[in-house]
Structure 1
Amino acid sequence: MSTETKQQRRIRRARRRERRRVHANPHIHRFLRFVVRQVLGAAFSIETVGRETVNRASGPFIILANHSAVIDPMVLGIYVNKPIHFVVSDSQFRSRLLGWVLRLVGSIPKTKAMSDLDTIKKIVAVKSAGGVIGLFPEGQSSWDGKNLPIMRATDKLLKSLKVPVYTARIEGAYLAWPRWARRFRRGPIRITYSRLFSPADLKELTVAQVGERLEEALAVDIWAFQRDRRFRYRGSRHAEYLERVLFVCPACHGLDTLVSEGRRLSCRSCNHSVLFNERGFFEAPRGSLHFTTVSDWNRWQLDWFAAYLSRNGTSVSGDGPLLKEAGMVVREGYKTQPLRTLGRATIYLYTKRLEFVLENGSTMTFPLKSLEGINVQNNEHLEFYHAFSLYRLSPESPRGNSLKWDYAVRRLQNQQF
């Protein structure tokens, strides 16, 4: 091998290491922590328990938390002295301004719902530099306040990194700013910090035991918490945008017939309505009350929707669509790269494929079994990968429900494999 070739390889390796380098500017971190702490402290009543346990820690470590609201990273990070390198959805890096800020504070991009080797390499780089890694092992924030399943790769990652593991249980953030809402509500949030594993613990425990203890440590029942304490979360439009998560009327079983205004959620088809109060529970202004929490309603609607998909998937004549939605904006991209708009389209979901019929008359067809990483970004955008390209579908209305598309595709995919 020539000297020139060896030198070129060394340069390429150095460039790869630099791309994996994650650095949080300590001065920027202190400034932002101060500013964000003042803002969040004015908006919410935040109580912390055990934060000195984390702040006494030295060297590299991992901090894990349940994920119930968009403000979780900020609420968690402002009480930890060292900069936390949070693993963040790569969609947030597509904005030049936000991407610049996230890189400035040392955030690590991760493609949702897919394995990402580059993310692992960056996490290892942070560990090697003695930094703090922040993870939300559920992979996304909760739609209805209930814990989501822990991503199974998390327990293996903890075992392989062999560093101390701390947890932060966040309670009340879902009621203060639900994932589906555009406005926050003033009320209490409690964060409980604790040490979960030492390196010696991780060495002795099996992967399954690590996962079990992690699930137990991060389990939060916000509805039991709220029934016991009855905290008030003050605001003016508590129900608005609930149709982003709730898409089936419990009275008439109408699909996409719900509309929110102020504190009221109503059905356009049968006029059934409920009020969403300051404590996060439903009330009935008239008639019967089917559910008292978003979680109960969501659990019922997903069971109903699964039966709907099964029933219509076997009974449609010919090859009719199970779902259809017009006016969706289709964009294409890849990971952190800016998205390119392809145009508006009508979207059709069939039992084995997804189709876009664009306004220019062209049709794009995607076999369901070939779709990867399907998820809902920023509350309303459906994203998935096909043949190394990212596609984003955005409803015409910001109140549009992409969750049902996400659930339907996953359900149909599971039936095919």
Structure 2
Amino acid sequence: MSKAYRRHVRFYAIMRRLLGPFFRRLLRYQSAPVTVPEGPYIAVANHTTDLDSILLGISFPSHMYFVASEHIFRNAPLRRLLVWLLDPIPKRKGGADVSTAMQMARRLRKGMNVALFAEGNKSFHGATCPVHPATGSMVRACGASLVTYRFEGGYFTSPRWAHTLRRGRMRGYPVGVYGPAELAALSDQQINRLIARDIDEDAYRTQAADPVDFRGKRLAEGIQNALYLCPRCRAYGTLTARGDRLACGCGLSATYTARGMLSGADVPFETLTAWGAWQREALWQRMGDAGEEAFLSDAGQTVLLIHPDHRTETAAQGTLCMSRRGLRCGDFFVPAEELQGLEIYGRNTLVFSDGKGSRYQVRSATERSGLAYYDAYELMRKERG
């Protein structure tokens, strides 16, 4: 093995010993032992928190290279340090990225292990997101073993929409181990279904079966990143949150509890899962009522062009509007039929590609929901077939 690989393995082992006890205490994380197969393997887990890579790393006994979101490579000094110490495999959002699969295959052929989160996303409402469609073909083509792993408790420990960490209980455990011959006998779709089954986690279902308090400060703050329509007045972007309370100008008021439930006489939903399902249906109706006009609009937005070397430059500033015609910010406009791969970084940063393959990022000066734009994009995509 190369000198760089030996350096990566040494640093990885040191960090496991140093960080393992700290993060286990911080997150109250417990993990079951993992028996890894002979030869290289791909570890696939559900994605619940920003710390999942660390937790997966301290749960597995051997070194792994992680597939990581491209945005962590934007800072040049940090990129150089990460590559020197860990050499993660970059994965683009907002468009196709064949290079990720190629880098994975090269490392696996050299006998190295790779870890990835098959959803490529974290849930806003507690249920595991769909497995990326290309995962099955990528896993089968690599010719390595597959180890599936499931996290529980992560959604309530560090909700994607939230500003603060909560302490309750997190668990992680292996679900399945599949050899290359077994995977080669399956279709890409069968592998996707296998992975989806193994990493499936519904935070509210788990909480109902074994309730745990997740205590922290400012429990509701940031919840408007996940909840973008008020069920009382049906207005967009009117919810605010402070402490453990959320409210709308129409008079709606609720409390977000330590068990992740919503409590309030005016709120028709106990869980964010139920609210999320309702607002997607309501958004579809809103889109129909708007016709060709904008059905989503947010001021204080900046559209950045992402260059191939990860640099960014401002392409537009102003009010971001989404309609059935497309996405507009000032003079910047991408027709709906050319809008590709719209996804979300973090709590609310949008990324997407246009018909020419140019990639963009939208930052917000205010706390607006990126999820609303993602849901609308998916609804329009399904409508077009």
- Shorter-chain TM-score range: over 0.9
Of 151, 156, 164, 1:175 maps to 156
User: Larger Rg: 1 or 2?
Assistant: 1
Corresponding residue for 2:321? Answer: 348
Of 39, 42, 52, 1:59 maps to 39
Q: Distance in 1 between matches of 2:309 and 2:14?
A: 26
Corresponding residue for 2:72? Answer: 92
After TM superposition, list the pairs within 5 Å mapping 1:17-416 onto structure 2: 25-51=8-34, 53-54=35-36, 57-103=37-83, 104-268=85-249, 270-284=250-264, 287-313=265-291, 320-335=293-308, 337-342=310-315, 344-357=317-330, 363-386=331-354, 387-397=356-366, 399-416=367-384
Q: Percent of aligned pairs with the same residue?
A: 26
Q: Distance in 1 between matches of 2:41 and 2:353?
A: 32
Deviation at 1:206, TM superposition (A): 2.9
Q: Distance in 2 between matches of 1:131 and 1:396?
A: 42
- Residue by residue over 1:365-412, the C-alpha shift from the partner in whole angstroms, topping out at 9 and shown as x without a partner, is 211111222111122211111223222111111x22111122223322
Q: Distance in 2 between matches of 1:348 and 1:146?
A: 28
Q: Distance in 1 between matches of 2:94 and 2:5?
A: 22
Q: Distance in 2 between matches of 1:335 and 1:246?
A: 33
Q: Distance in 2 between matches of 1:383 and 1:22?
A: 32
TM-score by length of 1: 0.86
Task: Tell me, yes or no, if the aligned pair for 2:348 and 2:368 is still in contact at 8 Å.
Answer: yes
Q: Distance in 2 between matches of 1:217 and 1:39?
A: 28
Deviation at 1:35, TM superposition (A): 2.9
Deviation at 1:214, TM superposition (A): 1.7
Q: Distance in 2 between matches of 1:259 and 1:22?
A: 48
Deviation at 1:97, TM superposition (A): 4.0
Runs of 5+ consecutive residues of structure 2 not aligned to the other structure: none
Deviation at 1:112, TM superposition (A): 1.9
Deviation at 1:113, TM superposition (A): 4.9
1:209–1:348 Cα change, 3 Å = closer
1:208–1:323 Cα change, 3 Å = closer
Q: Distance in 1 between matches of 2:62 and 2:52?
A: 17
Deviation at 1:203, TM superposition (A): 2.4
TM-score by length of 2: 0.93
Residue identity opposite 1:38 in structure 2:
P
Q: Distance in 2 between matches of 1:335 and 1:242?
A: 33
Task: Tell me, yes or no, if the aligned pair for 1:257 and 1:267 is still in contact at 8 Å.
Answer: yes
1:35–1:411 Cα change, 3 Å = same
Q: Distance in 2 between matches of 1:308 and 1:112?
A: 27
Runs of 5+ consecutive residues of structure 1 not aligned to the other structure: 1-17, 314-318, 358-362
Q: Distance in 2 between matches of 1:32 and 1:288?
A: 48
Task: Tell me, yes or no, if the aligned pair for 1:46 and 1:188 is still in contact at 8 Å.
Answer: yes
Task: Tell me, yes or no, if the aligned pair for 1:376 and 1:403 is still in contact at 8 Å.
Answer: yes
Deviation at 1:201, TM superposition (A): 1.0
- Residue by residue over 1:137-189, the C-alpha shift from the partner in whole angstroms, topping out at 9 and shown as x without a partner, is 11111111101111121111222122111011000011100111121111211
Q: Distance in 1 between matches of 2:99 and 2:22?
A: 34
Task: Tell me, yes or no, if the aligned pair for 1:22 and 1:108 is still in contact at 8 Å.
Answer: no
Q: Secondary structure at the match of 1:78?
A: helix
Report the number of matched residues. 381
Q: Distance in 2 between matches of 1:304 and 1:384?
A: 24
Runs of 4+ in 1 over 4 A off after TM superposition: 21-24
Residue identity opposite 1:355 in structure 2:
R
Q: Secondary structure at the match of 2:59?
A: coil
